[in-house]
Amino acid sequence: MWIFLFLLCVYTLCSADQYRQRAEELMKQTSLIDGHNDLPWQLLLRYNNQLSKVDLNNLNGTHTNIHKLRTGLVGGQFWVAYTPCATQYKDAVRQTLEQIDVIHRMCQEYPETFQFVRSSSEITSAFKNGKVASLIGVEGGHSIDSNMATLRLFYQLGVRYMTLTHSCNTPWADNWLVDTGADPVESNGLSEYGKKIILEMNRLGMIIDLAHTSVKTMNDALQISKAPVIFSHSSAYTLCNNKRNVPDEVLKKVSEKKGIVMVNFYNEYVTCNPAANLSNVADHFDYIKKIAGYQAVGFGGDYDGVTSVPTGLDDVSFYPDLVAELLRRNWTDVEVKAALGENFLRVFKQVELVKSNSPGDDEPIPYEQIQNPCRTGYGYQNQGNTGTSLVLLPAAVTLLYPIHYLLV
């Protein structure tokens, strides 16, 4: 009996080593591209973005540092430029710019590890160079302050996806809390201006991220977009009935659109409970593969943006263990490599193909949809409150025009 148990243990350990070894081999062949990491947010909270006060090689107290990234064989990472909903109608644009800036500075100060990239081809190049391909995603449409010019400038700064909403409505899109009843329906999905934002993102070559959106917003974007979309950090609703997750009917539409769902590791989105484990996360990979196909799944850990992660996925260094679990569940090499990064690269390339040099949309959002005490109305015609009572012009001009022409 003891001999049998001993041989069983040896066999189990050898099998585990076999899957882990194969996982590492595949990850060295195909870049693991993760859709969502909030390390920049931690840098703001802990150091007010002062990189001079931190060593990213061995940063303590976070899910992410350079040593952990290397151990986890992470080949590509979307670093998130995030600012909370509390900044909406206030300083959201400035806060987002600061987060974009700190991501650029991360890459500049650690060039031996990070390579800032703006295209699918540059991701492949960075992987060949042994660098972590570093991209920027903006989390929450409130970051653009309902302004197309801001969206375009973000793209010029290297932003390659925008999450349409975070946990609040914007003046042009409804967020996931609408589906819980916690927030009111305002745009019934996407407003007319929201639909124009989708098309402008297509024109720019910016990926549309539907994480955090209401189901109606998901469906509107899937219908309107000329390019595939992503969920950068969401899981399967059927396995965990949290409205942040993706229902089956949307999974099927994502598959038809050739998009992907990048699985989130937050316990509350994995099991709908405070506790979860690696196997529970693998269940979501299996389920999305079952409903939408292996071409529709990816990794979106949400590390450093959540308060709890599954046992066995404690930080970014544990990715190979999850890949080994997929292999243990009879995922083929082709399926694993697709989930690691090939699916995302396919989506990104298609987004780039849809990109156009045609003129951008320059029609502003209706003033009544964004009017608030923190916003002026310069440029809008016939508005009663623009934040000032008189346009200051040279004295010679004021003599030529009646005073009522100067009131705005």
Per-residue pLDDT reduced to its tens digit, 338-347: 999 999 999 9
The structure's pTM equals: 0.91
Same structural domain, 288 and 390: no
* Contacts of residue 155, Cβ cutoff 8 Å, sequence gap at least 6: 204, 205, 206
Same structural domain, 61 and 150: yes
Does 408 score more than 90 pLDDT? no
The better pLDDT of the pair 388, 112 is held by 112
Same structural domain, 405 and 279: no
Same structural domain, 113 and 67: yes
Mean pLDDT across 185-210: 98
Does 295 score more than 90 pLDDT? yes
Name the percent of the chain lying above pLDDT 90.
88
Say if 392 falls within a structural domain.
yes
Does 388 score more than 80 pLDDT? no
Same structural domain, 250 and 385: no
Say if 11 falls within a structural domain.
no
Same structural domain, 301 and 397: no
Say if 161 falls within a structural domain.
yes
Same structural domain, 306 and 256: yes
Say if 12 falls within a structural domain.
no
Same structural domain, 121 and 162: yes
Say if 370 falls within a structural domain.
no
Active site residues: 36, 38, 139, 166, 212, 233, 302
Mean pLDDT across 149-169: 98
Same structural domain, 123 and 194: yes
Instruction: Supply the pLDDT for residue 15.
Output: 62
Say if 2 falls within a structural domain.
no
Query: How is 264-311 classified by DSSP, letter by letter?
Result: ---HHHHTSSS--BHHHHHHHHHHHHHHH-GGGEEE---BTSSS---B
- Look at the chain and report how many structural domains it folds into: 2
The better pLDDT of the pair 402, 120 is held by 120
The residue segments making up the domain with residue 406 are 376-408
Per-residue pLDDT reduced to its tens digit, 90-148: 999 999 999 999 999 999 999 999 999 999 999 999 999 999 999 999 999 999 999 99
Same structural domain, 280 and 400: no
Same structural domain, 316 and 403: no
Instruction: Supply the pLDDT for residue 381.
Output: 76
Same structural domain, 70 and 206: yes
CA distance 388 to 13: 73
Three-state DSSP state, 133: strand
Per-residue pLDDT reduced to its tens digit, 219-232: 999 999 999 999 99
B/e letters for 245-277, b = 16+ CB within 10 Å, e = fewer, are bbbeebbebbbebbbbbbbbbbbbbbbeeeebe
CATH of the domain at 343: 3.20.20.140
Say if 9 falls within a structural domain.
no
Per-residue pLDDT reduced to its tens digit, 8-22: 554 555 566 999 999
Per-residue pLDDT reduced to its tens digit, 258-278: 999 999 999 999 999 999 999
Say if 222 falls within a structural domain.
yes
Q: What is the mean pLDDT of the chain?
A: 92
